[in-house]
Structure 1
Amino acid sequence: MSMRIGYGFDSHAFKTGVPLIIGGLPIEHPEGLAGHSDGDVLLHAITDALLGAVSAGDIGTFFPPSDPRWKGAASSVFLQTALEEVATAGYKIVNIDTVLVMAKPKIVPIANELRESVSRLLGVKPGEVGIKAKTPEGLNQDHVAVAHATVLLESLEVPEPVSLRTLEAEADEDRDIEMNVVVRGLVGDSRDVSALGRKIPAFDTDDLT
């Protein structure tokens, strides 16, 4: 079994007139996040972490902002592509940890909802997703949302081909048969002990008085 670690980062400025979506979850807020797609900063960071873990490039490799097809697209589409790349590489998610850095809205009150939304999109348990929040104190980023994501992957167990398992089972069965023959030859009622270096008595001991 092999392990892979991936790290992702993304940032978006707040913008009026667009909905705020984080982790695939619509959030009530006067401003949303500017971006070519829906601006979901958290899913973008997770997508990059997944792609990076399997050396598949980054989100811009698959969905360049210059492509009009992705204008306003849901970031869950990007995430699904990253999950496919992970599966193709022969890995699965062990757990994922994230940090959101923003002044508003407050993330702590909705952290559980975010965790459930992200875990559902990833196809993992909520307990395998970490959602943390920090304020950008001293960073002069009060009007920006930043996301960091780290993911741990492990290789999938590939089942042995049926034909190989069958051959091994047959070989084991043959060995068992051979062993039974040897055992019967050693402990059977009519064994020849001369080959073992033992001497057979020349007379019947029952005749001794």
Structure 2
Amino acid sequence: MSMRIGLGFDSHAFKKDVPLVIGGLKINHPEGLAGHSDGDLLLHAITDALLGAVSAGDIGTFFPPTDPKWKGADSTLFLKTALEEIALVGFKIVNIDCVLIMHRPKIVPLAGEMRERVADLLSIDVNNVSIKGKTPEGLTQDGTAVAHVVVLLESIDLPNEHKKLTLHADLPDEADIDAALAAVAKPRDISALGRKLPTFDTDDLT
């Protein structure tokens, strides 16, 4: 079994007259977070952690902020792409640990609901999601929110029972081989296969 660790970070400034979304959770607050998408810094940091764990680049590689089509985009879309990337190379999430740093709103009262939302988006047990809130004491970032994320991945292996079944599978005998060869040699009607003819005249297309 192979293990991977990913580290994610993101920060956004607070901005009036925009909705506040953190961890896929809409929060009632007078200010939201400025950003090219919906400003969800937690999902952005999780996305970067997942992509980094499998050396797939970062969120800007897939969704550049210079591309207008991602303006106001839902950050759950970014997260789904990162989940596809880790699954593609054969990994799954073990657990995730998140730290949110901001003066307001207070994260501790929201942490339970936020953990459930993140767990649902990641399709993992809520007990494998940790979200902690901290205040930026001694730091000059009153109008900024910061997120740090660490994720642990493990490789996906076939269960041992599947391996045993494959190892001890019966080898084909001569009768099996003869039957297979006869099936291949038998002529078959292939007229129904292949691309169908168009139902309209393509010359009419403009």
* TM-score, normalised relative to structure 2: 0.79
Q: How many angstroms apart in 1 are the aligned matches of 2:49 and 2:59?
A: 9
* Structure 1 letter corresponding to 2:24: G
Counterpart code for 1:110:
L
Whole-Å separation in 2 of the counterparts to 1:130 and 1:167: 40
Aligned-pair Cα RMSD in Å: 1.7
Counterpart residue number, 2:133: 133
Residue 96 of structure 2 is aligned to residue 96 of structure 1 = yes
Q: 1: CA distance between counterparts of 2:67 and 2:92?
A: 29
Partner residue in 2 for 1:193: none
1:150: Cα distance to partner?
0.3
Q: Return the letter of the residue paired with 1:101.
A: I
Corresponding residue pairs, total:
170
Displacement of 1:169 after TM fit?
3.5
Change in 2 beyond 3 A, CA 1:159/1:18: same
Which residue does 2:182 correspond to in 1? none
Structure 1 partner of 2:70: 70
Partner of 2:53: 53
Unaligned runs of 5+ in 1: 172-209
Partner of 1:147: 147
- The percent identity for this pair of structures is 70
Greater Cα radius of gyration, structure 1 or 2: 1
Structure 2 runs not aligned, ≥5 long: 172-206
Summarize the Cα distance change of 1:168–1:13 in structure 2 as closer, same or farther, 3 Å threshold: same
Per-residue Cα deviation, 1:112-134 (whole angstroms, up to 9, x for no partner): 00000000000001100000010
- For residues 163 and 99 of structure 1, the distance between their equivalents in structure 2, rounded to whole angstroms, comes to 40
> Which structure shows the higher helix fraction?
1
Question: In the TM superposition, what is the alpha-carbon distance from 1:163 to its structure 2 partner?
Answer: 11
State the 1:167 CA deviation. 6.0
- Structure 1 residues 4-61: Cα deviation after superposition (integer angstroms, max 9, x where no partner): 0000000000000100000000001000000000000000000000000000000000
Q: Does 1:26 align with 2:19?
A: no
Report the Cα offset of residue 94 of structure 1. 0.2
Q: Which residue of 2 aligns with 1:13?
A: 13
Query: Structure 1 126/163 Cα, relative in aligned 2: closer, same or farther at 3 Å?
Result: closer
Separation of aligned partners in 1, 2:126 and 2:72 = 27
Distance 2:165 2:141 in 1: 59
Shift of 1:157: 0.8
